[in-house]
Amino acid sequence: MADNRVDLLRHLRVRPLAERRSKHSLEEILLHPDDPPPDAGSMAAAIETVADRVQRARDSGAGVILAYGAHLVKNGLGPIVTRLMESGWITHLATNGAGIIHDWEYAFQGRSEEDVRENVATGEFGAWDETGRCTLIAVLVGALGGCGYGESVGRFILDDGCRIPERDELRAVLAEWATTSAGEDELMPARAELLQTLIRFDLASGEYPVMHPFKQTSLTAAAARLGIPLTVHPGIGYDIVYNHPMASGAALGRGSHIDYQTLVGSVDQLGESGVVLSVGSAVMAPQVMEKAVSAANNLRIGRGREPLSPFFAVNDLVPIEWDWSRGEPPIDSPAYYSRFCKSFSRLGGEMLYLGGDNRVLLQNLCRRLG
């Protein structure tokens, strides 16, 4: 039964990405950091508070983590966030699978997004060759250098592809490890997974060129260029890349596990004055951050250090009437079920909710911080 399930997905038919009717182009969405920001309106005071907290964090050497959903990319905010990274205000990016997939598609072809209703009905939703194939190859090869999901795709964009090791080279290293008492080697499963993929899909070794004509707009590439961690925290089956016959839960899971460990290290650097910005991420950011904060506290307490108490700024479009400075709402209040507020309010620091457009927040924050 298990073999039949695996074989089932290998029969998926995919088409070239160029044949997809993508909904938006970079020309339609892209924002420039030197353009005047929109009127902050009712968010003005909260944005000022966030800017002050970010400045305080960086002045004290504490980290600033931006966790975001795919709409940040789809709203053309990549160059805005890149400016914030270049200026030293943001020290870590964390996103979900869709956040990096849309970024890669824009870098590769300057267009992204598809009609879900229309393409699900025809079985074509997510069934696009280059998106699934290139991101998987990037993660498979990147793992051999100890890179996680985000860094692997970022380097793939920057370098316009990658170099795939020779099959015989992989076989030799695996055979030597299997016949000696070399002990634990975390790269061996990654080498085996890459070799299996090369054989199963008859992929050639050597240079694997994939041009990215729009990489200057890529947030993922910018993070790799600047040496700033960009970690990806996906769910198996959440993203279109799983509707590709080459999809590998082992490879993508390994990449995201490396990224989770990187995130925990960055969370540990938040201390008492660090900042977490959660922008348009109602599920990934609160769910992943509550585990990462707990893991970091576990390690800190083991080293005789105090638990974390960072500042959390949470931005989403949902209007929430509850004043979270009063504490948690009662269980019969609809606000109690706002996961993106409830989780962050429980993590030991102060939380501020900013209801409104992420373009208003980030463009004004960029202008305020310079």
CB–CB of 129/138 below 8 Å?
A: no
Alpha helices in 242-353 (DSSP H): 249-268, 284-302, 339-345
Give the CATH number of the domain where residue 44 resides: 3.40.50
Q: Are residues 175 and 212 in the same domain?
A: yes
Q: Are residues 235 and 154 in the same domain?
A: yes
Alpha helices in 144-186 (DSSP H): 149-158, 167-178
CA distance 93 to 91: 7
240 is in which domain, residue-wise?
Answer: 1-27+96-254
Q: Confidence band (pLDDT; 50, 70, 90) for 111? A: very high
Residues 60-80, mean pLDDT to the nearest whole number: 96
CA distance 139 to 197: 12
- Domain assignment present for residue 264? The answer is no
CA distance 275 to 190: 34
Q: Are residues 59 and 170 in the same domain?
A: no
Q: Confidence band (pLDDT; 50, 70, 90) for 182? A: low
Q: Confidence band (pLDDT; 50, 70, 90) for 3? A: low
- Domain assignment present for residue 262? The answer is no
Q: Are residues 248 and 288 in the same domain?
A: no
Residue 183, SS3 per DSSP = coil
Instruction: Copy the structure tokens of residue 42.
Output: 């009712």
CA distance 64 to 54: 7
Q: Confidence band (pLDDT; 50, 70, 90) for 329? A: confident
CA distance 340 to 358: 15
- Final residue of a structural domain among 231, 254, 277: 254
Q: Are residues 159 and 240 in the same domain?
A: yes
Q: What is the pLDDT of residues 340-353, one digit of tens each?
A: 888 999 998 999 99
- Domain assignment present for residue 263? The answer is no
CA distance 312 to 66: 10
Q: Are residues 288 and 212 in the same domain?
A: no
CA distance 60 to 42: 29
Residues 52-73, mean pLDDT to the nearest whole number: 97
Q: Are residues 160 and 145 in the same domain?
A: yes
Q: Are residues 83 and 156 in the same domain?
A: no
- Domain assignment present for residue 259? The answer is no
Q: How many H-runs (helices) and E-runs (strands) does the chain carry? A: 16, 10
Number of domains in the chain: 2
- Domain assignment present for residue 189? The answer is yes
Examine the pLDDT at 2 and tell me if it is beyond 80.
Answer: no
CB–CB of 66/203 below 8 Å?
A: no
- Kindly report the number of other CB atoms within 10 A of residue 308's CB atom: 22
CB–CB of 220/153 below 8 Å?
A: yes
- Domain assignment present for residue 23? The answer is yes
Q: Are residues 241 and 288 in the same domain?
A: no
Q: What is the pLDDT of residues 128-160, one digit of tens each?
A: 999 999 999 999 999 999 999 999 999 999 999
- Final residue of a structural domain among 198, 229, 254: 254
Q: Are residues 199 and 326 in the same domain?
A: no
Residue 354, SS3 per DSSP = strand
Q: Are residues 243 and 116 in the same domain?
A: yes
CB–CB of 90/228 below 8 Å?
A: yes
H or E element, residue 290: helix 284-302
Q: Which of 13, 2, 246 is nearest to 140 (CA)?
A: 246
Give the pLDDT score at 318.
86
Q: Are residues 217 and 334 in the same domain?
A: no
- Final residue of a structural domain among 227, 254, 281: 254
Q: What is the pTM assigned to this prediction? A: 0.94
- Domain assignment present for residue 167? The answer is yes
